[in-house]
Amino acid sequence: MAPRFQAPRGTRDLLPADLGRWQWAEAVARDVLERYGFREIRTPLFEDFELFARTSGESSDVVQKEMYRFQDLGDRDLALRPEFTAGVMRAYLEHGLGGRARVHRLWSMGPVFRYGRPQKGRYRQFSQINCELVGSPAPGADVEMITLFVDLYEAWGFRDLTVLVNSVGQPASRRSYGEALRTWLAPVREKLSADSQQRLVANPLRVLDTKDAGDLALFGELGEMPRMLDAIDAADRAHWEAVRAGLEAAGIRYEVDHGLVRGLDYYTRTAFEVHDRALGAQIALGGGGRYDGLVAELGGPPTPGVGFAIGLDRAMLVLEERGAAVPAPAAGVYVAAMESTRAAAVALVRALRRRFPVEFDVEARGFGAQMKAAGKSGARALVIMGEEEWTRGEVVVKDLAAGTQETVARDRLEETLAARLAQEPPDRSAVDERRAGETETS
C-alpha cells in the first residue's frame, strides 16, 4: 500500500546515503569561499512579495508564474524566496553595510523555491550557493566572480567547463535592442508559442530565454539574430572588453553567447552562465551577472554589484552521474561491553565521543550480538570491556582492519585509538602477495 503522504510534487527528501555527497560538496565550497575572502550571510526564507516583484522584474517567469506567494495571519503579502540576491541586498541596505566598508563579499547557501514544472534537474524546492561582491563597479570584480564561479566547480572535480558570457548593457540600450528583436522576429511572430508572443509584447529579450523547441526551430529559419553587443554604449563596451581581457589573463575558458539574457531583470552589463552536457543545453548549472541598478531600485544609494548562484541539486546530479567518489566517513570505534561492565561503558563511551565517532549498543544485547554489529559497523577499532581486564584498569583494542589486538591501560586508550584510526588500513592483497613471494624465495 502506498503511504498516505508523499513529499509534495517538485520536492525531495535527501536521505543519509545521499547526504554524504552534499555535505562533502558544501564543505569544499566553504573552503574555497573562505580563501576568496567571502563571509556568510543568512537571510529569511521569506520576504515581502514586493521585494521580489521589484527586483526580479514583473514580466519575468519567476514573478509571473513561479512565486510561492502567500498571506500570513496578519494579512502580510509574503513570498518564499525564489533566489537570494534580493534578500541579501535588502539586508545590506537595512543594516547599512555600505557605510561600514566599501566592498563586501557575501555568500549564502540554502533552499529557494520556484513553482515550475518539475523534471530532471528542475525542482520546486532546490538549493543554491549564492555569492555577491557588492560595492565595486570595476571589471576586475566581474572577473574575480567568474573565476570564483569556475573554481567552485573545479574544486568539486568538474573539468573543461566553458562559461558563456554576454553583456546585457543598460535598460536604455536594452530597450533599443528589444525593438531590433521585434523586427527580427516579425516574420514568424504568429508562429511563436503563446508564451513567446506575450513576451514579445511585454519584454522581447525574454523571448530569447524560451525553452520551447518550436520557437528555437523558428529562430533557426531567420537570418542572423541582432546582437545585444551591437546595441550597448561606449562605457559598457569598454567594461565588456576589460572583462574579456581579465578572463583571458585569469585563464578562464569562455564563449560569447549572444542569446544569453538571464531569467531575472536586474542585470546590467556582464551576464554569465555555465552548462553541462549531462543536463542538456536548456538547463544551466549556475549563472549570474552584474546588477548595478538593484540597490537603487530598493531605495538605496547607487551601489554596483556582481554575483552568481550555483544550483547545488544540478551540480550533485552531474557528479552522481559521473560516479565521482565521495570520501568515506571517518573510521570509528565500536565499544562492546559485558553485563558487568555496561555501566562503566556508558561513561567511557561518553568520554571517547568527545574525540572519536563511537558506536555502542544501547539495547544491552549479549556479547555475541555486539561482536556481529561491530563487524557490520565499518568501525576500524573495537574496544572490548571484559570484566577481568576492566578490574585491572585495562581494555582490549582490536584493529578490525589489520586483524591484530592488544591490551591497553585505560589511560592510554585515547592515544592508542588515535594512532589506530590515523593508520592506513593494510592492503590485504599486497600483504598476501608479499607472503606468497616470501614462500617462493625461501
Nearest position to ligand HAM, beta carbon: 311
Please, which residue, 116 or 357, has the CB nearer to ligand HAM? 116
Own/partner pairs for 187-192, CB < 8 Å, 24+ apart? 187/222, 188/218, 188/221, 188/222, 191/218, 192/218
Own/partner pairs for 9-12, CB < 8 Å, 24+ apart? 9/118, 9/124, 10/115, 10/116, 10/118, 10/123, 10/124, 10/125, 11/123, 11/124, 11/125, 12/123, 12/125
Amino acid at 104: H
Please, which residue, 22 or 184, has the CB nearer to ligand HAM? 22
The least CB distance from residue 212 to ligand HAM, in Å, is: 17
Q: In the sheet that 333-337 helps form, which strands lie side by side, from edge to edge? A: 358-360, 333-337, 381-385, 394-399, 404-409
The least CB distance from residue 303 to ligand HAM, in Å, is: 13
Amino acid at 20: G
Distances from the Cα of 16 to the Cα of 19, 20, 23, 385, angstroms: 5, 7, 10, 31
Please, which residue, 254 or 356, has the CB nearer to ligand HAM? 254
Q: How far is CA 137 from the centre of its chain?
A: 26
The least CB distance from residue 231 to ligand HAM, in Å, is: 22
Tell me which residue of 130, 148, 103 sits closest to 247, measured CA to CA. Answer: 148
> What is the rounded CA–CA span in Å between residue 146 and residue 269?
14
User: DSSP E strands: which ranges in 276-326?
Assistant: 284-290, 305-311
Please, which residue, 315 or 337, has the CB nearer to ligand HAM? 315
Please, which residue, 132 or 399, has the CB nearer to ligand HAM? 132
Q: Are 54 and 298 in contact (CB under 8 A)?
A: yes
Tell me which residue of 300, 307, 303, 281 sits closest to 292, measured CA to CA. Answer: 303
The least CB distance from residue 111 to ligand HAM, in Å, is: 10
Continuous H helices in 78-158: 85-94, 97-100, 139-155
The least CB distance from residue 115 to ligand HAM, in Å, is: 9
The least CB distance from residue 84 to ligand HAM, in Å, is: 6
Give the residues lining the site for ligand HAM (CB under 6 A): 83-85, 114, 116, 121-123, 126, 128, 130, 132, 263-264, 284-289, 291, 307-309, 311, 313-314
The least CB distance from residue 313 to ligand HAM, in Å, is: 5
Please, which residue, 178 or 263, has the CB nearer to ligand HAM? 263
C-alpha cell at 54: 521589484
The least CB distance from residue 392 to ligand HAM, in Å, is: 60
Please, which residue, 254 or 390, has the CB nearer to ligand HAM? 254
Please, which residue, 43 or 130, has the CB nearer to ligand HAM? 130
Q: Are 145 and 133 in contact (CB under 8 A)?
A: yes
